[in-house]
Structure 1
Protein backbone atom coordinates (compact mmCIF):
# COMPACT_ATOMS: atom_id res chain seq x y z
CA UNK A 1 0.00 0.00 0.00
CA UNK A 2 1.33 3.44 -0.88
CA UNK A 3 2.01 5.99 1.82
CA UNK A 4 -0.61 8.69 2.16
CA UNK A 5 -1.05 11.75 4.35
CA UNK A 6 -3.64 12.14 7.07
CA UNK A 7 -4.13 15.86 7.08
CA UNK A 8 -6.53 18.61 6.13
CA UNK A 9 -8.40 16.53 3.54
CA UNK A 10 -8.75 13.30 5.52
CA UNK A 11 -9.38 14.34 9.11
CA UNK A 12 -12.59 12.33 9.38
CA UNK A 13 -11.06 8.96 8.56
CA UNK A 14 -12.40 6.30 10.94
CA UNK A 15 -9.21 4.69 12.24
CA UNK A 16 -5.51 4.66 11.38
CA UNK A 17 -4.79 1.86 8.92
CA UNK A 18 -1.04 1.77 8.74
CA UNK A 19 2.17 2.43 10.59
CA UNK A 20 2.95 6.11 11.09
CA UNK A 21 6.05 6.88 9.10
CA UNK A 22 6.25 10.62 9.57
CA UNK A 23 4.60 13.57 11.33
CA UNK A 24 4.99 17.19 10.32
CA UNK A 25 3.62 20.35 11.86
CA UNK A 26 2.98 23.73 10.31
CA UNK A 27 4.06 26.09 13.09
CA UNK A 28 2.82 29.11 11.15
CA UNK A 29 -0.73 27.70 10.95
CA UNK A 30 -0.80 26.67 14.61
CA UNK A 31 -3.14 28.78 16.76
CA UNK A 32 -1.82 27.45 20.09
CA UNK A 33 -4.99 25.62 21.18
CA UNK A 34 -2.87 22.87 22.76
CA UNK A 35 -5.15 19.95 21.87
CA UNK A 36 -2.17 18.04 20.48
CA UNK A 37 -0.21 18.46 23.71
CA UNK A 38 -3.16 17.32 25.80
CA UNK A 39 -3.66 14.29 23.55
CA UNK A 40 -0.04 13.15 23.11
CA UNK A 41 2.44 15.00 25.36
CA UNK A 42 5.21 12.55 24.40
CA UNK A 43 4.99 13.74 20.79
CA UNK A 44 3.90 17.40 20.97
CA UNK A 45 4.72 20.39 23.16
CA UNK A 46 4.11 24.13 22.96
CA UNK A 47 6.67 26.89 22.63
CA UNK A 48 6.70 28.87 25.87
CA UNK A 49 6.97 32.20 24.06
CA UNK A 50 4.53 31.75 21.16
CA UNK A 51 2.29 28.92 22.31
CA UNK A 52 2.75 27.24 18.94
CA UNK A 53 3.22 23.52 18.50
CA UNK A 54 6.64 21.91 18.86
CA UNK A 55 7.18 18.43 17.46
CA UNK A 56 9.12 16.31 19.94
CA UNK A 57 8.97 13.00 18.07
CA UNK A 58 8.42 12.80 14.31
CA UNK A 59 8.22 9.01 14.29
CA UNK A 60 6.40 7.89 17.44
CA UNK A 61 6.11 4.32 18.67
CA UNK A 62 3.24 2.15 17.45
CA UNK A 63 1.44 2.37 20.79
CA UNK A 64 0.96 6.13 20.26
CA UNK A 65 -0.40 5.81 16.71
CA UNK A 66 -4.11 6.21 17.51
CA UNK A 67 -3.44 9.15 19.83
CA UNK A 68 -1.33 10.93 17.22
CA UNK A 69 -4.05 10.49 14.59
CA UNK A 70 -6.61 11.82 17.08
CA UNK A 71 -4.38 14.84 17.80
CA UNK A 72 -4.22 15.61 14.06
CA UNK A 73 -8.00 15.38 13.82
CA UNK A 74 -8.50 17.57 16.91
CA UNK A 75 -6.21 20.37 15.71
CA UNK A 76 -8.48 23.37 15.02
CA UNK A 77 -5.87 24.87 12.66
CA UNK A 78 -5.24 21.56 10.87
CA UNK A 79 -1.54 22.17 11.41
CA UNK A 80 -0.57 18.51 11.89
CA UNK A 81 0.08 16.10 9.03
CA UNK A 82 0.46 12.38 9.70
CA UNK A 83 1.80 10.16 6.94
CA UNK A 84 1.02 6.46 7.22
CA UNK A 85 2.50 3.48 5.38
Structure 2
Protein backbone atom coordinates (compact mmCIF):
# COMPACT_ATOMS: atom_id res chain seq x y z
CA UNK A 1 0.00 0.00 0.00
CA UNK A 2 1.38 3.46 -0.82
CA UNK A 3 2.18 5.69 2.19
CA UNK A 4 -0.47 8.21 1.10
CA UNK A 5 -3.80 7.30 -0.49
CA UNK A 6 -6.77 9.14 -1.92
CA UNK A 7 -9.80 9.17 0.28
CA UNK A 8 -13.02 7.93 -1.34
CA UNK A 9 -14.20 10.33 -4.03
CA UNK A 10 -12.85 13.50 -5.55
CA UNK A 11 -15.22 16.49 -5.70
CA UNK A 12 -15.79 19.19 -8.31
CA UNK A 13 -16.55 22.74 -7.22
CA UNK A 14 -18.29 24.03 -10.33
CA UNK A 15 -18.84 27.48 -8.81
CA UNK A 16 -15.09 28.07 -8.45
CA UNK A 17 -14.06 25.70 -11.27
CA UNK A 18 -11.89 23.52 -9.02
CA UNK A 19 -11.15 19.84 -8.53
CA UNK A 20 -10.84 18.84 -4.86
CA UNK A 21 -9.10 15.75 -3.49
CA UNK A 22 -8.28 14.38 -0.05
CA UNK A 23 -5.25 12.28 0.86
CA UNK A 24 -4.73 10.38 4.08
CA UNK A 25 -1.79 8.47 5.55
CA UNK A 26 -2.08 4.70 5.12
CA UNK A 27 -0.42 4.13 8.51
CA UNK A 28 -3.22 6.08 10.22
CA UNK A 29 -5.47 3.07 9.67
CA UNK A 30 -3.53 1.42 12.51
CA UNK A 31 -2.77 4.42 14.72
CA UNK A 32 -4.94 6.64 16.95
CA UNK A 33 -4.61 9.66 14.69
CA UNK A 34 -5.88 10.82 11.32
CA UNK A 35 -3.95 13.07 8.91
CA UNK A 36 -5.72 14.59 5.92
CA UNK A 37 -4.44 16.75 3.07
CA UNK A 38 -7.09 18.64 1.12
CA UNK A 39 -5.87 19.87 -2.28
CA UNK A 40 -7.68 22.13 -4.73
CA UNK A 41 -6.69 22.26 -8.42
CA UNK A 42 -7.68 24.75 -11.10
CA UNK A 43 -8.83 23.78 -14.61
CA UNK A 44 -5.18 23.34 -15.67
CA UNK A 45 -4.48 21.00 -12.71
CA UNK A 46 -2.33 23.59 -10.95
CA UNK A 47 -2.50 23.42 -7.16
CA UNK A 48 -4.49 26.43 -5.97
CA UNK A 49 -4.72 25.54 -2.30
CA UNK A 50 -3.42 22.78 -0.04
CA UNK A 51 -4.26 22.34 3.64
CA UNK A 52 -3.18 19.68 6.13
CA UNK A 53 -5.25 18.65 9.13
CA UNK A 54 -4.47 16.26 11.97
CA UNK A 55 -7.26 14.81 14.09
CA UNK A 56 -5.99 13.05 17.24
CA UNK A 57 -8.45 10.18 16.97
CA UNK A 58 -8.84 6.83 15.21
CA UNK A 59 -11.41 7.40 12.46
CA UNK A 60 -12.97 5.41 9.64
CA UNK A 61 -13.68 7.81 6.78
CA UNK A 62 -15.67 7.20 3.64
CA UNK A 63 -16.99 10.48 2.31
CA UNK A 64 -16.61 14.21 2.72
CA UNK A 65 -18.21 17.47 1.62
CA UNK A 66 -17.30 21.11 1.10
CA UNK A 67 -19.52 24.13 1.69
CA UNK A 68 -18.12 27.60 0.87
CA UNK A 69 -15.54 27.92 3.64
CA UNK A 70 -15.00 24.49 5.23
CA UNK A 71 -14.18 20.87 4.54
CA UNK A 72 -16.47 18.38 6.26
CA UNK A 73 -15.31 14.83 6.93
CA UNK A 74 -17.98 12.24 7.71
CA UNK A 75 -16.30 9.87 10.11
CA UNK A 76 -16.93 7.01 12.46
CA UNK A 77 -14.79 6.62 15.54
CA UNK A 78 -13.28 3.16 15.76
CA UNK A 79 -11.16 1.20 18.17
CA UNK A 80 -8.63 -1.21 16.76
CA UNK A 81 -8.17 -4.15 19.11
CA UNK A 82 -5.68 -6.65 17.73
CA UNK A 83 -5.32 -9.86 19.71
CA UNK A 84 -2.07 -11.78 19.41
CA UNK A 85 -2.42 -15.54 19.87
CA UNK A 86 0.68 -17.50 20.86
TM class, shorter-length? under 0.3
When normalised by structure 1's length, the TM-score is 0.23
TM-score scaled by length of structure 2:
0.23
Larger radius of gyration: 2
Higher normalized strand content (fraction of residues): 2
